[in-house]
Amino acid sequence: MTTAILSALPEEQGGLVQALEQREQFQYAGRVFWRGRLHGQTVVLGLSGIGKVAAATTAVVLFERLGAQRIVFTGVAGGMGEGVQVGDVVIATQFLQHDMDASPIFPRWEVPGYGCTQFACDPELSTLLFAAAHAYLTNTQADIPRSSGVARTHLARVHQGLIVSGDRFVSTLAESIALRTTLAAAGHQALAVEMEGAAVAQVCSDFGKPFAAVRTISDRADDSAHIDFPRFICEVARPYADHIIAGFLQRQLVGVA
């Protein structure tokens, strides 16, 4: 069974391409993909680029052209939930498009034609991701670089819950508070915000394929977001991706969470 590991940016995928055994390169729809063996599993690595449309296109290519049977997304996100701090990890249980609004024809956030606002992630894959992330953070707390901006008094944690996606980089405190408050008033308790996951979740639902996602919190989706992001993604997100995906694949191979 082929597992696709998808990210928006190359830094978010860490050194997974270099670690591939028997790797082959493919190009399609303006994208480069790598297929090979990683920790005993057949995988395809892909970069979607930023935004929901780019992510959806890439997910379709992975299924239709490269034989992927499941997708795992790894990358960074802005923290929104209470207690979700820089350096933490969020494993998605559901996704919602925070910029979807076809009201008054449909309720706000409901995806027309689907009758729902949220798309669920695969519970089995998500459990494996959670176990891999928890094990890594537990064993490597002291290794987070001081220069990354992670508070040394904060021990990184793994959270599970709703992640919201939209075609906008949420980068001010006012916008973050407004988005979180509006969603919470409707019963949507968002832990993190990013720009691709909900689109991939919808494509996976269309194809009937399992989907899971892990996001490292790079900022608090506030006025410091543009300052924290570039350094954090290289110094923290890369090793997180390498180790969490490795742990996930190893657990998947033996069927142990």
Active site positions, annotated? 12, 219
State the Cα–Cα distance between residues 204 and 21, nearest whole angstrom. 27
Pairing of strands 3-7, 70-79: parallel
State the Cα–Cα distance between residues 215 and 91, nearest whole angstrom. 6
Is residue 111 a contact partner of residue 202, using CB atoms and an 8 Å limit?
yes
What is the per-residue burial (b if ≥16 Cβ within 10 Å, else e) of 94-112?
Answer: bbbbbebeeeeebeebbbe
Strand partners, 78: 193, 219
CA 17 to chain centre: 18
Taking residue 66's Cβ as centre, other Cβ atoms within 10 Å add up to 15
State the Cα–Cα distance between residues 30 and 108, nearest whole angstrom. 33
